[in-house]
């Protein structure tokens, strides 16, 4: 008996959240719309990044198709391909990235483009800032004045300011809304996220000047979220497995880069910060992307075995449900989207963004607090995205039970 008590005491000090009397199992497992103070910090972190757990159902359905066994003797070396500029990029992963982009038609990723792998596209964002702000080919030897302003149009992805200013670099500095940047000859970096996190709209660069460089964050330019209208072909594009296949925990992203010097400096950043990127993750990602592409190339494959079809249907159903609830209430509104022809799905489609950018109407000025305190719905407030407090961002990528609970609580609001 004493031994059990000791073990329980030990476990409860390691994992206090599971032993708190106030925490329901539900809010621990699925905390996005949870309510308990003791898990607040964890909740805010999870809710902040739009955990794509919706995709678990799809990968459960595929059985062992995407399984991978790595013997103890494999993936031991630091090196993946010493003949490649990005020597820590696994050739199998690179090949599957190019294959998937060719299949979907959402980006030009032929052999004349450099692929740089990163620990999530979050690391690649920092690598891109470093590369653009230090390449003499980009802004000249003086770097074009220091620190370079980094901007993005409001509402912007809330991690951009934090990631830009984390190290208080003398090379670049967060300068807020792209529209507030005075157009002139001064160098700058603009981040364009399209479709946009948080509001789902398609975006292009806001600052029209030849003296800036643009990072295109295309995390959501996949057919489950928006129409694929043409292959993107920008100088520097970022993609992530997190929002493409839902494997956020694999921590893998890739950049497609035109300029060799910029690619080399991005590579340098990753080399110095983490001496490359997990080979285990890259091999797993190669297998996952291969499974996705294979299913599309199999004539007889059913729609539910096709990732983009599964995810698009789920997103469409969720958006329809959400719009019905919003239409029945005077308290909220959502952005209005126009349909476009999707070359991949071969039909007209509305966007079904990964986040709902919800606006509190009437006299609710702080939408985040209103939803959290009165209705136990956790969201991320507009100010994190450079916008006003009447807006909040809500993840549409959570597990079905969480999404259903959110809809239930939202429907119950009666003003």
Ligand X SMILES: Cc1ncc(COP(=O)(O)O)c(C=O)c1O
Which residues of the chain form contacts with ligand X (CB under 6 A)?
49-50, 120-122, 157, 193, 197, 217, 219, 240, 242, 248, 253
Minimum distance from CB of 123 to ligand X (Å)? 7
Question: Quick check: 367 and 373 in contact, CB under 8 A?
Answer: no
In this structure, the number of other CB atoms found within 10 A of the CB of residue 324 comes to 11
Q: Which is nearer to ligand X, 121 or 402 (CB)?
A: 121
Minimum distance from CB of 164 to ligand X (Å)? 13
Q: Which is nearer to ligand X, 187 or 246 (CB)?
A: 246
Among all chains, which residue has been given the structure tokens 């003499």?
Answer: 136
The CA R_g of the chain, rounded to the nearest whole Å, is 22
Minimum distance from CB of 125 to ligand X (Å)? 7
Minimum distance from CB of 373 to ligand X (Å)? 26
Q: Which is nearer to ligand X, 241 or 367 (CB)?
A: 241
- Which run of H or E residues covers position 239? strand 236-240
Q: Which is nearer to ligand X, 149 or 198 (CB)?
A: 198
Q: Which is nearer to ligand X, 157 or 319 (CB)?
A: 157
Minimum distance from CB of 141 to ligand X (Å)? 31
Q: What is the DSSP letter of 348?
A: E
Give the nearest residue (CB) to ligand X: 120
The C-alpha atoms of residue 146 and residue 188 are separated, in whole angstroms, by 10
Question: Quick check: 97 and 254 in contact, CB under 8 A?
Answer: yes
Question: Quick check: 192 and 136 in contact, CB under 8 A?
Answer: no
Minimum distance from CB of 303 to ligand X (Å)? 26
Q: What separation in angstroms does the CA of 95 have from each of 87, 111, 261?
A: 14, 10, 22
The C-alpha atoms of residue 367 and residue 357 are separated, in whole angstroms, by 11
Judging by beta carbons within 10 Å of its beta carbon (0-12, 13-18, 19+), is residue 59 exposed, middle or buried? Answer: middle
Question: Quick check: 279 and 144 in contact, CB under 8 A?
Answer: no
Strand partners for 152: 177
Minimum distance from CB of 219 to ligand X (Å)? 4
Question: First and final CA of the chain: distance in angstroms?
Answer: 54
Q: Which is nearer to ligand X, 245 or 305 (CB)?
A: 245
- Six token digits for residue 373: 């305190």
> Is the sign of the CA dihedral 279, 283, 288, 289 positive or negative?
positive
Minimum distance from CB of 226 to ligand X (Å)? 13
Q: Which is nearer to ligand X, 203 or 331 (CB)?
A: 203
Q: Which is nearer to ligand X, 23 or 124 (CB)?
A: 124
């Amino acid at each position: 008996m004493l031994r059990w008590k000791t073990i329980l005491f030990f476990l409860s000090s390691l994992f206090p959240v599971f032993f708190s009397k106030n925490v329901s199992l539900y809010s621990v497992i699925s905390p996005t719309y949870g309510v308990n103070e003791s898990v607040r910090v964890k909740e805010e972190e999870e809710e902040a990044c739009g955990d794509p757990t919706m995709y678990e159902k799809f990968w459960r359905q595929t059985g062992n198709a995407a399984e991978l066994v790595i013997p103890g003797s494999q993936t031991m070396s630091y090196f993946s391909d010493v003949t490649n500029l990005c020597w820590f990029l696994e050739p199998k992963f690179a090949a599957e990235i190019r294959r998937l982009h060719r299949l979907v038609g959402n980006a030009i990723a032929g052999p004349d483009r450099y692929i740089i792998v990163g620990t999530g596209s979050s690391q690649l964002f920092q690598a891109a800032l470093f590369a653009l702000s230090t390449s003499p080919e980009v802004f000249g030897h003086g770097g074009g004045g220091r620190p370079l302003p980094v901007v993005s149009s409001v509402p912007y992805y809330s991690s951009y300011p934090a990631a830009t200013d984390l190290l208080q670099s003398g090379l670049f500095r967060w300068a807020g809304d792209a529209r507030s940047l005075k157009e002139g000859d001064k160098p700058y970096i603009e981040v364009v996220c399209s479709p946009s996190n948080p509001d789902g709209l398609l975006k292009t660069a806001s600052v029209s000047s030849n003296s800036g460089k643009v990072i295109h964050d295309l995390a959501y330019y996949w057919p489950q979220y928006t129409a694929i209208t043409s292959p993107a072909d920008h100088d520097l594009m970022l993609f992530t497995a997190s929002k493409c296949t839902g494997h956020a925990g694999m921590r893998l992203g890739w950049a497609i880069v035109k300029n060799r010097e910029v690619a080399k400096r991005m590579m340098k950043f990753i080399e110095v910060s983490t001496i490359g990127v997990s080979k285990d993750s890259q091999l797993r990602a190669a297998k996952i992307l291969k499974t996705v592409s294979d299913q599309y190339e199999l004539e007889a494959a059913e729609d539910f075995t096709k990732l983009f079809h599964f995810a698009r249907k789920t997103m469409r159903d969720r958006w329809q449900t959400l719009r019905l609830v919003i239409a029945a209430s005077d308290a909220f509104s959502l952005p209005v989207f126009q349909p476009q022809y999707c070359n991949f799905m071969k039909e007209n489609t509305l966007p079904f963004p990964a986040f709902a950018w919800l606006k509190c109407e009437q006299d609710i000025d702080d939408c985040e607090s209103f939803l959290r305190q009165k209705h136990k719905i956790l969201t991320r407030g507009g100010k994190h995205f450079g916008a006003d407090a009447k807006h909040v961002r809500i993840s549409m990528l959570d597990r079905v039970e969480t999404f259903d609970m959110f809809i239930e609580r939202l429907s119950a609001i009666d003003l």
